Amino acid sequence: MRRWQEWLPGLQRRLALPQTSLQLCLLGMLGGLIAALLIIIFRLAIVALQSLFLSQSDDFASADPEIVWLLPLAGAVIIGVIAFITGYRHYRLGIPFVIHRIKTRYGIMPFRNTLNQFFGGIVALASGFSVGREGPSVHLGAYGASTVGRYLQLPYNSIRILAGCGIAAGISASFNTPLAAVIFVMEVVLREYRIHVFIPIMLASVVGALATQLVFGHDRELASLDIVAISIWHFPYLIICGIIFGAVAFLFNQNLMRLIRWFKDWPLLVRLALAGVITAAVGYLIPHAMGAETGAIYHAVNNPTDLQLLLVIFIGKLVLTIVALGLGVPGGVIGPVFGIGIVLGTILAIVPAIFIGDSSTAGTYAVLGMAGLMAATLHAPLAALLAVIELASNQQIILPAMVVIITAYVTTVQFFNNKSIFMMQLDFLQMPYKLAPADDILQKVGVLALLNKEYVLLSNADESTVRQQLALLQPPTQLLLKQTQGDTTEFVAASYDVSLSLSGDSAIQYQKVAGLSHQTTMAEVFSLLEDNRDGLVYIYQDTPTEPIGIIRWDQVRSLLTKQNNLL
């Protein structure tokens, strides 16, 4: 225990710096393992519940019709009970909430929100709501990995990286796509590419993939699709398909946000009940459209030429997804988008099938549909491309996927002015997700990296003692006064004020000094000092009345000047 206490401060100081380190890589792997274990438990619970009434996981068409319509109703009630127990104010869930916490709270996730996401997500997916498991996976992954940093009291800048590690491990453990998980975190969640962030996140993603492979095997969800090489003569038609995917993404995002706006003032329990009723009604008629994405993939694979069935599944899946997510059912959007895209791609494959005389390209077009719709809906073209490559395990899909993804993305942005569904939700909920340039830089450096020991501390000193001490100090050494009255302790910086001495008044200037935890970053120092552009803050570790160092304004200014001259 003593060795641990001696070792920990050095680790904390090391991780306050924005640089690649072996310690952060190892902690990222540990956080990734914790995140992966949470996701594995989450997935196993869903499979166990579904095995009670489904002959095949996520295929609600295989269930007794008398049970299918009851499942969403019962699920809505249970989700409502969970929300009531944990508190309605802790019901903000999903990837948008995680992006918000990454940017404003360094990825630290509230415990009650995580309980809502874990149990609510299990019930939602097990009972047939058209939501994805990646939403809970991202939330649980961020919570599991950031908890490691919170336990070790690491600087917040490193906790944010650990949260990114957990998210990557969570997605990797959910879909068995380690590389796409890394790019998703960098492209959508963190929205930056830095080598000291990239390496531990990549290692965590590997851990997540290995963990899920040990439990669920190496099979991928698109393994059942027969992906064949397509000739260059398909490419003009692929451009048309990309335009269609871009338009569908726009319709999906707009209608989802419209539903969220319509029902924003309705009580949560009423919204959940309405989602249960609509899902039960549509699911009774179209059980193939229920669940995440696996059921839609299964029916697209087995019925590639049944245009009527595919259209019904496509419309049903679109409606059920918008209803579930728009009315607040816990879950993610990526899984259903995969399912919708695969069904839509299979439908579009019928056109070339007429000319070549068979449906051999249906699997290829199904995968392209998934890629195009994901890129246009989430504004994550690179993550979509890598997800397709990993899920399909076929390099022949790369070139046509790039054509479809580019066309879909440009179409939805240029012609429809469509934004990422995550950004639209964040804007509507008024949850900040953007940082000022200065804050963006300063959040990456912990205060321990610049901790200054050049100060003298006096307790309850009188003015004569202060004068004597000031006369002895050599700049830039600061004089810090600790003033205690009863149970109240405050700190004041004392310095000479030339303007006051010229007027004949006291030449000593006293300035109140705020304290910050050793876990904070330079962004918090900047926030306290930016108005006066002067002064200092003191840093404490365990006890707010026991400083371990100071940070001066000139150190903040120097850091900003060094980093792109932002001040």
Tell me the pLDDT tens digit for each residue of 111-130.
988 998 999 999 999 999 99
73 falls in which pLDDT band (50, 70, 90)?
very high
- What does the pLDDT look like over 180-192, one tens digit per residue? 999 999 988 988 8
Using CA atoms, how far residue 477 sits from 466, 480, 496, 510, 517, in Å, is 14, 10, 13, 15, 21
Q: Phi/psi of residue 192, each to 5°?
A: -160, 155
- Reading the block at residue 211, the tokens are 């963990």
- Reading the block at residue 409, the tokens are 């993305």
Closest CA to 90 of 350, 279, 330: 330
500 pLDDT above the threshold of 90: no
Output the pLDDT for position 299. Answer: 78
Q: What is the CA radius of gyration of the chain?
A: 28
Q: Tell me, what DSSP letter sits at residue 400?
A: H
- Reading the block at residue 247, the tokens are 């338009």
More confident of the two residues 300 and 513: 513
Cα end-to-end distance, the chain, whole Å: 44
- Reading the block at residue 350, the tokens are 């019928």
CA 95, chain centre distance (Å): 5
Output the pLDDT for position 70. Answer: 92
Cβ-Cβ contacts under 8 Å for 341 (sequence gap 6 or more): 245, 366, 369, 370, 371, 372, 373, 374
Output the pLDDT for position 565. Answer: 44
- Reading the block at residue 78, the tokens are 């249970």
Q: How many of the other CB atoms lie within 10 Å of CB of 455?
A: 18
The CA-based angle 445-382-290, given to 5 degrees, is 110
- What does the pLDDT look like over 502-557, one tens digit per residue? 555 557 888 899 999 999 999 999 999 988 888 899 999 988 889 999 999 999 99
Output the pLDDT for position 567. Answer: 41
CATH superfamily of 2-220: Clc chloride channel (1.10.3080.10)
Compute the mean pLDDT over every residue in the chain, rounded to the nearest whole number: 89
Percent share of the chain, pLDDT over 90: 56
Summarize the confidence of residues 121-148 as an average pLDDT.
93
Using CA atoms, how far residue 327 sits from 121, 315, 324, 565, in Å, is 14, 18, 5, 46
Alpha helices in 106-234 (DSSP H): 111-126, 134-151, 156-175, 178-184, 195-216
264 pLDDT above the threshold of 60: yes
Residues, the chain? 567
89 pLDDT above the threshold of 80: no
225 pLDDT above the threshold of 90: no
420 falls in which pLDDT band (50, 70, 90)?
very high
Sign for the pseudo-dihedral over CA of 178, 180, 181, 187: positive
65 falls in which pLDDT band (50, 70, 90)?
confident
- What does the pLDDT look like over 457-491, one tens digit per residue? 988 888 888 888 888 888 888 989 898 887 888 99
Q: How many of the other CB atoms lie within 10 Å of CB of 299?
A: 23
Q: Tell me, what DSSP letter sits at residue 536?
A: E
Output the pLDDT for position 71. Answer: 93
Q: Phi/psi of residue 487, each to 5°?
A: -95, 0
Helices 111-126, 22-50: crossing angle, 10 deg rounding:
40
Q: Is 446-562 in the same CATH topology as 2-220?
A: no
The CA-based angle 458-515-103, given to 5 degrees, is 160
What fold characterizes domain 446-562? Answer: CBS-domain (3.10.580)
CA pair distance 541, 447, nearest whole angstrom:
11
373 pLDDT above the threshold of 90: yes
More confident of the two residues 86 and 235: 235
Cross-sheet strand order for the sheet of 515-517: 515-517, 536-540, 547-552
More confident of the two residues 246 and 293: 246
337 pLDDT above the threshold of 70: yes
367 falls in which pLDDT band (50, 70, 90)?
very high
What fold characterizes domain 232-429? Answer: Clc chloride channel (1.10.3080)
Q: What is the pTM of this model?
A: 0.91
Q: Are 398 and 387 in contact (CB under 8 A)?
A: no
Query: What 3-state class would DSSP assign to 395?
Result: helix
- Reading the block at residue 74, the tokens are 């019962």
Q: Are 93 and 133 in contact (CB under 8 A)?
A: no
563 pLDDT above the threshold of 90: no
Closest CA to 456 of 519, 564, 357, 550: 550
435 pLDDT above the threshold of 90: no
Cβ-Cβ contacts under 8 Å for 543 (sequence gap 6 or more): none
18 pLDDT above the threshold of 80: yes
Alpha helices in 176-289 (DSSP H): 178-184, 195-216, 235-262, 268-285
Quick check: bond before 476 cis, omega within 30?
yes
CA pair distance 302, 233, nearest whole angstrom:
26
The domains of the chain are located at 2-220, 232-429, 446-562
Output the pLDDT for position 160. Answer: 95
The CA-based angle 343-346-351, given to 5 degrees, is 140
Summarize the confidence of residues 30-36 as an average pLDDT.
95
